[in-house]
Chains A and B, each alone.
Chain A
Amino acid sequence: MQPLDFSTVIQTLTQNAQNVWMPHFFPEVVVCVTIVLILLASICLKRTARTTFALALIGLLVALCGIGSQLNVVGSGVSANPGEYFGGVLIWDGFTVPVRGMLLLFAILALSLSGSTMKFGARDATDFYTLLLGSTLGLLVLAQSNNLLMAFVGFEMASIPGYALVGFQRHRLRSSEASLKYLLYGAAASGVMLYGISLLSGLTGTLSVSQLGSHVAAIGSQATGATASHAVIFSLLLIFVGFAFKLSLVPFHFWAPDAFEGASAEVAGFLSVGGKVATFSLLVRMSLALSGSMTGEAAKLVLPLGIGLGVVAMASVTFGNLAAYFQKNVKRLLAYSTIAHSGYMLMAVAALLVLRSPEGASSGIDVKQVTQQCIEGLVFYLFVYVFMNIGAFGLTALMRNHFGSEDLEGVKGFGRVFPIHGACLVVCVFSLVGLPPLGGFWGKFVVFYSLFMASKISTFMMVVLLVGGLNTVFSLFYYIGILKAVFLGEPREGSSSLVAASSENGLAMLIALPILLLGMFPGAATDFASEMARSLVR
């Protein structure tokens, strides 16, 4: 060990910080600063909910602009050193930058939604927005982490404010109950995940995600390879429990319906989308690291892993759709539909693993290209999902505000009283079903397409595809149930005099419009998605 010169260390650090880390990490820094500013403002300035909201919104917008400038750099090809930074714990490349942009955009939507639909006092507003931003920060870190420990930190940073957000309506019995359940379930799942991380890092000797592949391959190639590989798989499955919790995949979905029903619709919308975007980003990165270049004993595990994910995806899709059948509470129904949608998205990852298995490499297809296509489909799906799910939950919040109910019985005639909200709901719901020409259709289409490619390697993927396709038919029933209640039911007495605020209308249209645009002109978005996929799979 060479003797340490303290000043050299400091100098290197400042240089790194100034030239490399801060510019790359600018959006997150802005979010951090915004959190601090909100808290400071609540002490110094006269507290109003509006000030806090404005501060949070400006912060997020600035952060998004930061992402925008980074996008330019990524897009221009002058890439500012895509790769690991911040001591290697984060990744900065053409994939993470847009994903972070997606997260920030989503946070802005969630923020504006809660700003316009939740009525709370100044003090509560400060806390709410702080928690929202804190959770967003965690998601941002999670999405770009290249280190399992960093991922865990991001995971907890996203979850813990989430527990508090679910319980934000302290005075409601259901809210506190939901929060407690979410907390206990989340703690158990993250504990399992952490235990898995500890085992995996012990077995491989590294916490790095990008080096995971080579280390696992090294284990597989030695004499004790078979047993050690099993241990690796075990720890990977433990880690997967954490992912599955965040993505609410069967059989680790139990928290989702309860937490979403107990939480306010805005929070439910936030929880249902943000975690997915960030977690899928990490899941894809891990899947890529663990597949493709494997050799020896470890390589044999890629295809089974892919099939395993396929089974989980099938279970999630089927379960989510079937369990949604008899739900009467719109939030709970949407929670189950969330489970199903996670399943659809997971199908893309399953297809990716199958395609990148040694069997795929020897089958003569262009593995790189089809892998890119899988990722492209997933990204597109996520992007549409951001809008359609937050739209659905946001409209549920509006139902609650205007009709005082979130039950299918109670929201009858909502679409008649508020035609614009109704139209936006139609767009969101039909997109969730996957009808053309809405964005959700393309998402499903591309995911099914990757499954189809994968089915050339493993016929099991054809089964997954069939189950997925069958489920789109199933899901129609309960989605149409919402629309039926909202449009065909007779509104309650006296509700016809209700008028929607123009800001609400504007927000609803702002969310619904991209779904429509993504459906009719998916070209731009897919080009972008394929750009992202290309930077991930070189």
Chain B
Amino acid sequence: MNDFLFVALAVIAALGAISVVLCRKVVHMAASLIVALSSVAGIFFSLNANFVGATQLMVYVGGTVILLIFGVMLTSMSAKAELKTTPIEAIAALASSVLLLLVFTFTVGSVSWSEHFKLLAGDAAVPKNLVEQGSSSFSSVALALVGVRTDQPNAHSYLLPFEIISIHLLVVLVAAGYLARPRGTQQEADSTAE
């Protein structure tokens, strides 16, 4: 049952992603994106990565996509004419992605993962499969984010990125604020040097 759900979610996610490419209208694209990302969140849940799944739903589906739709609404008012791609471009795009797919098949696709990891399993440093382990990974994730690794004592812990990303978000806020701020103030008129 669980397997079936897993495969179904994967198929839905893949279809969602493909329909993002095929849709013409931006709103449809966004809707397809929501489907795809939600299915991915479902996959995360089924993999026992509950926290990540929840974040995916909240931040991605809830935040990012809403942001995108917001952008659509802001900017689509005048764009009545649909923006079409010329066939040549579509063909070029398709050709390049087919080539990429080929490259992918011959490299990553040809790795037999189960065997690969079975062979590596002899390595002591390898952690146990977390799904089989069945424990809640939530607390270990949270602890790793504040700098303590409970599962693998020697592995890296992520206090620094966790903290420093706050500064990054602050800077991004400033950037977005600056760019979105209406222009035309006197000061800005002076700022032009060209």
A interface residues, Cβ below 8 angstroms from B? 1-2, 4, 9, 12-13, 16, 21, 25, 28, 32, 35-36, 39, 86-90, 117-124, 126-127, 130-131, 133-135, 137-138, 141, 146-147, 149-150, 153, 156-157, 160-161, 163-164, 167-172, 199, 203, 205-208, 218-219, 222-224, 227-228, 230-231, 233-235, 264, 400-401, 404
B160 touches which one: A87, A164, A172, A218 (CB < 8 A)?
A87
| A233 & B148 in contact (Cβ 8 Å cutoff) | no
- In the complex, which of the residues B120, B159, B190, B193 contacts A121, with contact meaning CB atoms closer than 8 Å? B190
Is there contact, CB below 8 Å, between A9 and B126? no
- Closest residue of A by beta carbon distance from B175: A164
Q: Which residues of the partner chain B approach A130 to less than 8 Å between Cβ atoms?
A: 171, 174
Residues of B at under 8 Å CB distance from A?
103-104, 106-108, 110-112, 115-116, 119-120, 123, 125-126, 135, 139-140, 143, 146-151, 155-161, 164-165, 167-168, 170-172, 174-179, 183, 185-188, 190-194
Select which of B126, B164, B183 is within 8 A of A171 by beta carbon. B183
9 A-B pairs with the lowest CB-CB distances in the bound complex, closest first: A121-B187, A134-B171, A87-B157, A164-B175, A234-B107, A88-B156, A120-B191, A127-B178, A86-B160
CB distance from A185 to the nearest CB of B (A): 16
Q: Pull 10 A–B residue pairs with CB atoms less than 8 Å apart, ordered by A.
A: A16-B147, A121-B185, A134-B174, A153-B164, A153-B165, A218-B120, A228-B116, A231-B108, A231-B111, A234-B103
Interchain CA distance A250-B77 in the complex, whole Å:
39
Residue of chain A at shortest CB distance from B184: A171
B148 lies within 8 A of A9 (CB): yes
The answer to whether A89 touches B161, judged by C-beta atoms less than 8 angstroms apart, is yes
- CB-contact partner of B111 in A13, A86, A88, A203, under 8 A: A203
Whether A89 and B188, one on each chain, are in contact in the complex, defined by CB atoms closer than 8 angstroms, is no
**B interface: dominant SS:** helix
Add 5 more A-B contacts to A127-B178, A134-B175 (CB < 8 A): A2-B150, A36-B167, A87-B159, A119-B190, A150-B160
Q: How far is the CA of A203 from the CA of B115 in the complex (A)?
A: 12
Residue of A with least CB distance to B113: A202
Contact A224 B116 (CB under 8 A): yes
Q: Once the chains bind, are A35 and B179 in contact (CB under 8 Å)?
A: no
Contact of B187 among A88, A120, A153 (CB under 8 A): A120
Q: Which residue of B lies closest to A401 (CB)?
A: B193
Bound-state CA distance A153–B159 (Å) is 13
On whether A87 and B158 interact (CB within 8 A), knowing A228-B116, A230-B110, the answer reads yes
Assembly CA distance A90 to B160 (angstroms): 9
**Cβ-defined contact, A161 with B110, below 8 A:** no
